[in-house]
Structure 1
Amino acid sequence: MAYWLLKTEPDEYSIDDLRNEPSGHARWDGIRNYQARNLLRDEVSRGDEVLIYHSQCKPVGVVGCGEVTREAYPDPAQFDPENHYFDPKASPESPRWFCVDIRFKAAFPRTVQLAEIKREPSLADMVLLRQGRLSVQPVREAEWQHILAMAARSQ
């Protein structure tokens, strides 16, 4: 099992949207960065744990966690000309973009804010702090445990 951080803009899709999915899981799609795509396609596996990170909001930070329920498959949005994520260079025979399915596990009692994460010496090497704009990023097990502990304590 591996650990990941997945970024989302809560006005597009939030932890509450994931929690309220009628099917119990959701397609994590719309990834349009090659490095993030490669991680999603080649390394994210069923059963991996994910931190859900809200970006482009106040406050930004980790708001909960989930689990991967389906490994990478071609993102259907890339084939739909009506979709915001349509890619005219993609075809079913040669997809360019991939997605995974995840399920909700927990919403944290509070947001673990980016500013807090930056203050933690044991988190100084997180990809989040070195390559902040990457929407899919690996998290070490010790980092995962530290974030969970931070979420459980009062600010």
Structure 2
Amino acid sequence: MLEDFGSLGKWWLPNNPEVVVPGKLSFSPGSSPTLELIGSFYSSQFKEVGQVENITLSSDSFPIEENSNLTSGVVLDFIKPEEIIILGLLDNNEEITLYKCYGQIKKFEFVKNRPTLSFNIEYVFRKIHFKNEKDIKLKSISVQYSHLEK
């Protein structure tokens, strides 16, 4: 039976190895593995999704001139990152490749400009780094079941 697993480590994208982010890889039977990063791989946590016109802001909303009228503005939304591969090194120096990762911003502190990113992961490869998708080709596979002989 698979057991719960959780380990701290350092994580980066293969195409940007100089940006290293701390985080925790977790797994529980019956759910997808998750990676929770304290920080981000990305320079911005927002993407532009459109324009808004005829904006009216009162001093209750923001500390600006009372009843200022702005003619237009940019609508921003949090990014929803998708990464084919995320590489990691656990605290015990074990290499990890996370494959097919779909993320979301769980928490964002505007004052610190520090997000908490969470990724759901389809596949976890332990003790190896694959830098690109084409390298993930298995020539063979070995499976061991505890207590199968009994």
TM-score for both structures, normalised by structure 2: 0.40
TM-score of the aligned structures, taking structure 1 as reference length? 0.39
